[in-house]
Amino acid sequence: MGKLGPKGSALNEHKPRAGIGPLSRLGAPAWSDQEPTWRDAKPALIGAALRRAQARPSGNWYVLAASREIHGGKPYGRVVAGVEVVAWRDAGGGLHVGPGSCPHLDAPLCDAAVHEGSIVCRWHGMRLPPGGRPGWLTYPAYDDGVLAWVRLDAVGGEEPLATPVLGPRPVAQGKLATVATVLGRCEPQDVLANRLDPWHGGWFHPYSFTNLSVISAPAVDSSEADDRFLVKVSFRLARDLGVAVHAAFSCPEPRTITMAIVDGEGTGSVVETHATPLGPDERGRPRTAVIEAVIIQSDRPGFDRAHLVAPALRPLIGWAAKRLWRDDIAYAERRYLVRSRSRLG
């Protein structure tokens, strides 16, 4: 583990200020009075963390969508890593993913019907079952309960794994998951690089975060065991009211970064950010889907019912819907633009 930051403190020193329940008075400095973080946010350190993440195996698994986006009635279509795929569910809820183009005359199968567990092409009625048929073989698919994954060995090029590599998740009981997706003109590594820079939080997202300090960051030559960022941060609910937590950022595989709440309200909850490459846009620029799952854990009674969730956890649940996302996509797109300019220049 790297050195403590200038504002570093040990976990057991964490004491929220007086407030209402889990909420605390922020007493935060004005935006311009914050301690600048650029000296600690060393490009070499962020770059090394990114390279280590990229070197981890994915087993060629890609997050396709939220599990609940793929449901009984209609197939779900998406281009993943340049491959057009279609996903659907059989009568038992089993997930299946196949090529998105009908093997007969290339009709779009996202517009097909689902009938008795198979998809049926609307153009000429060709039936495509879960096991596939000659010229149309299905891909390995996996539903982890929150997200649907597809394994694309031809584009991944790694040693295939039987299941995706998942990071830490809350225990099943009392968990609540929301998934939201935004698209950016960048590559997955730009999305990860943004999240591997926790120092930008208080400066770039003052409407969401304050009193952010990076307690520890992995060294440039970090071992696997120490490869995480530990951050102390308050999620801002109102101008001077927030929830103070400690969060750990780590990358279980090359296209995922997980933020786990390790101390404070909602301990055990995670925000999983998955960056799925889609394919180039009409101008040849890469497009990436940022598919973010917020999986909340709380011991509070009635927690399984969304409307009863403690107000203190709403910032986490609403994480995906806010300005934070637009700003982080802008960061990732800018990083891609600068990288592509330097490649050309």
Q: Which residues bind Fe ion (CB under 5 A)?
A: 328
- The smaller minimum CB distance to Fe ion, of residues 187 and 328, is found at 328
Which stretches of the chain are DSSP H helices?
43-55, 153-156, 188-195, 201-204, 314-317, 323-344
Give least dist CB 240 to Fe ion, A.
22
- The smaller minimum CB distance to Fe ion, of residues 194 and 269, is found at 194
Task: Let me know: does 263 contact 14? Beta carbons within 8 Å.
Answer: yes
- The smaller minimum CB distance to Fe ion, of residues 61 and 204, is found at 204
C-alpha to C-alpha distance for 121 and 111, rounded to whole angstroms: 8
> If we measure between CA atoms, which residue out of 261, 194, 265 comes closest to residue 230?
261
C-alpha to C-alpha distance for 262 and 193, rounded to whole angstroms: 22
Give least dist CB 201 to Fe ion, A.
6
C-alpha to C-alpha distance for 87 and 171, rounded to whole angstroms: 27
Residue 222 CA from chain centroid, whole number: 23
Q: Which residues of 46-58 are buried (b: 16+ CB within 10 A; e: fewer)?
A: bebbbebbeebeb
- The smaller minimum CB distance to Fe ion, of residues 227 and 328, is found at 328
Quickly tell me which residue has 């929220």 as its tokens. 16
Give least dist CB 248 to Fe ion, A.
16
C-alpha to C-alpha distance for 187 and 279, rounded to whole angstroms: 9
> If we measure between CA atoms, which residue out of 309, 313, 276 comes closest to residue 291?
276
Give least dist CB 112 to Fe ion, A.
39
Give least dist CB 159 to Fe ion, A.
33
Give least dist CB 117 to Fe ion, A.
42
- The smaller minimum CB distance to Fe ion, of residues 126 and 329, is found at 329
- The smaller minimum CB distance to Fe ion, of residues 205 and 285, is found at 205
Give least dist CB 328 to Fe ion, A.
4
- The smaller minimum CB distance to Fe ion, of residues 123 and 325, is found at 325
Task: Give me the residue whose beta carbon is nearest to Fe ion.
Answer: 328
SS3 at position 93: coil
